[in-house]
């Protein structure tokens, strides 16, 4: 088993359809520049309201990735 060192970053993803999509949107965008992502923790979930309905989910996650 390797003794890894991890770095944490905090991201906020958004979606008009679901919390899960908001998380995935954040991870997919981060993957363009961040390598070796291994895990995430949901820090905060919130949303925007328009005409008495949820119009957008906003999810903040901490993402851990291994350093090379």
* pTM as predicted: 0.90
Q: Which residues contact 50 (CB under 8 A, 6 or more apart)?
A: none
Summarize pLDDT for 33-62 with one digit per residue, the tens: 999 999 999 999 999 999 999 999 999 999
CA–CA separation, 56 and 48 (whole Å): 5
CA–CA separation, 24 and 29 (whole Å): 8
Please report which confidence band the pLDDT of residue 3 belongs to, taking 50, 70 and 90 as the band edges: confident
Handedness of CA 58, 61, 65, 67 (dihedral sign): positive
Q: Please state, for a pLDDT cut of 70, what percent of the chain lies above it.
A: 99
């Amino acid at each position: 088993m390797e003794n890894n060192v991890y770095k944490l970053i905090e991201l906020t993803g958004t979606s008009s359809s679901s919390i899960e999509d908001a998380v995935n949107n954040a991870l997919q965008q981060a993957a363009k520049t961040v390598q070796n992502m291994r895990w995430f923790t949901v820090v905060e979930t919130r949303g925007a309201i328009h005409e008495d309905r949820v119009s957008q989910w906003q999810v903040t996650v901490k993402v851990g990735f291994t350093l090379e």
